[in-house]
Amino acid sequence: MIIILKPDVTPESPEYQVLMKYLSQFEGVRTHIAEYQGITRKVVEIHLIGDTRKVPVEVIQSLPGVEKAIRISAKYRQIGRHGDLEPIGFDYKGLHFDQNSFHVFVGLCAVDTKENTEAIFKALKENGIRTARMGAYKPRTSPYDFQGHGKECLPWLFELAGKYDIAVIAMEVLAPHHIEEIWEALEKTGHPTGVMLQIGTRNAQNFELLKAVGNQQEFPVLYKRGMGLTIEESLNACEYIASEGNHNIIFCLRGVRTHLGEPHRNLVDFGHVPVIKRLTKLPVCVDPSHPIGSRVKAPDGIRDIYHVAAQGVIAGANMVLVEFHPVPEKALCDGPQALYLEELPCFMEYINQAREAYLNMKDIVARHTMQMMAPKP
Ligand code: PEP
Ligand code: MN
């Protein structure tokens, strides 16, 4: 069961004490407090864990300080949508993330030289973008391939980000100690930017890593669906993160592994955008670079990466994560799929147009639904 408190009720309020006293009579029922900070208000939820069958919803609902009590049968206790409450999302570094927001994270698959990194940040600033992707720790198939510069590059990377007013960098972590390394580098450089910790598809069920990113509240988490996992398995992985205390999670679709996706690298799964939005409160990201794997173009002159990015956005995605490089031929990782930096204005105009189309399409459906529901004369 989830109990949502009225907006002005906090754990210090007398109404809260009354509620907790009432709940304490039910043996085997534990409580977990979850707080969500939205733009206009903070939501405090009390999650009842254990055998809650004897806890009467109607009585709880009638207690002072309670806005709503919902009995949940769903398995996604923390990340799931319960009832008709609109998810409030979260704020980070002055940006808001929820199921209505829209951000494009652009950048290098793997950080290589300072020159290339600065070229990316400069182009982002010129295009009014404050969200980047930058890989410092790379999970590679072969141990002989470039593994990323790791913590060595973090101080100059963060300073450069600050110079170009980048608010958030999405950065994959492969092990719990990488979170500390990122924190230390941010401390050392005076927090010129923010970091969103990325869980890569290869670590989608690395439960100790999931617990580690869940066990801290500083950084939000970008969770990438396991390329061989069902939606249910990947959502349970997000539930691991949330149940440790961090609810600031974005769910990223990045394609799934099957030969049926050939000649693309993976099979695009962006049809699941509405599924994740329906089942959970999480904002949804799409990564068009990794499932496609190359810069090929269709006969209409549009790259496959653009086509599928637009498909994800039209399906209602809240974020796009895409790889660019100033000189893709020289990239140390995923060069074949990196878009040319010169085409950033084109990509942004294209993707913003897709977002506009989505918003207009949403209005069309809402208008027709209203008309269909209106009483007939
Ligand atoms: C990445 O985004 O840098 C990456 C490695 O992606 P994935 O985990 O989806 O393969
Ligand atoms: Mn990559």
Q: What is the pLDDT of residues 279-298, one digit of tens each?
A: 999 999 999 999 999 999 99
> Residue 105: its pLDDT value, please?
99
| Ligand 2 center to 168 CA (angstroms) | 18
pLDDT digits (tens, 9 = 90+) for 302-315: 999 999 999 999 99
> Residue 74: its pLDDT value, please?
66
> What backbone phi and psi angles, to 5 degrees, belong to 253?
-90, 135
Q: Would the pLDDT of 8 be above 90?
A: no
Q: Quick one: the chain helix, strand, coil %, rounded to 5?
A: 40, 20, 40
Label residue 51 exposed, middle or buried (CB < 10 Å: 0-12, 13-18, 19+). exposed
Q: Would the pLDDT of 77 be above 80?
A: yes
The residue whose C-alpha atom lies closest to atom 3 belonging to ligand 1 is: 109
- Around Cβ 372, how many Cβ atoms within 10 Å? 8
> Residue 11: its pLDDT value, please?
86
Ligand 1 neighbourhood includes 109 CB (under 6 angstroms): yes
Q: Is 327 helix (H, G, I), strand (E, B) or coil?
A: coil
User: What is the token pair recorded at 206?
Assistant: 């690395």
Ligand 1 neighbourhood includes 226 CB (under 6 angstroms): no
Q: What is the residue-averaged pLDDT of the chain?
A: 95
Q: Which residues of 67-104 are buried (b: 16+ CB within 10 A; e: fewer)?
A: ebbbebeeebbbbbbbeeeebbbbebbeeebbbeebbb
Q: Which helix (H) or strand (E) holds 14?
A: helix 14-23
User: What is the token pair recorded at 83?
Assistant: 């009832």
Label residue 131 exposed, middle or buried (CB < 10 Å: 0-12, 13-18, 19+). buried
Long-range pairs for 258-261: beta carbons < 8 A, 24 or more residues apart: 261/291
Rg for the chain, CA atoms, rounded: 22
| Ligand 1 center to 365 CA (angstroms) | 34
Full-model pTM: 0.90
pLDDT digits (tens, 9 = 90+) for 149-173: 999 999 999 999 999 999 999 999 9
Percent of the chain with pLDDT over 90: 84
Ligand with smallest separation from the Cα of 287 = 1
> Residue 100: its pLDDT value, please?
98
- CA–CA separation, 259 vs 323, rounded Å? 23
Report DSSP letters for 220-259, one per residue: -EEEEPPTT--HHHHHHHHHHHHHTT---EEEEE--B--G
Q: Would the pLDDT of 360 be above 80?
A: yes
* Position 278 confidence tier, pLDDT thresholds 50, 70, 90: very high
- CA–CA separation, 65 vs 7, rounded Å? 9
Q: Is 2 helix (H, G, I), strand (E, B) or coil?
A: strand
> Residue 32: its pLDDT value, please?
85
The residue whose C-alpha atom lies closest to atom 8 belonging to ligand 1 is: 200
**Whether the Cβ atoms of residue 256 and residue 228 lie closer than 8 Å to each other:** yes
* Position 41 confidence tier, pLDDT thresholds 50, 70, 90: confident
| Ligand 2 center to 186 CA (angstroms) | 23
Domains and CATH numbers, the chain: 2-70 (3.30.70.1140), 102-364 (3.20.20.70)
* Position 203 confidence tier, pLDDT thresholds 50, 70, 90: very high
> Residue 45: its pLDDT value, please?
87
Counted residue by residue, the chain has a size of: 377
**Whether the Cβ atoms of residue 290 and residue 337 lie closer than 8 Å to each other:** yes
Q: Which helix (H) or strand (E) holds 69?
A: strand 66-70
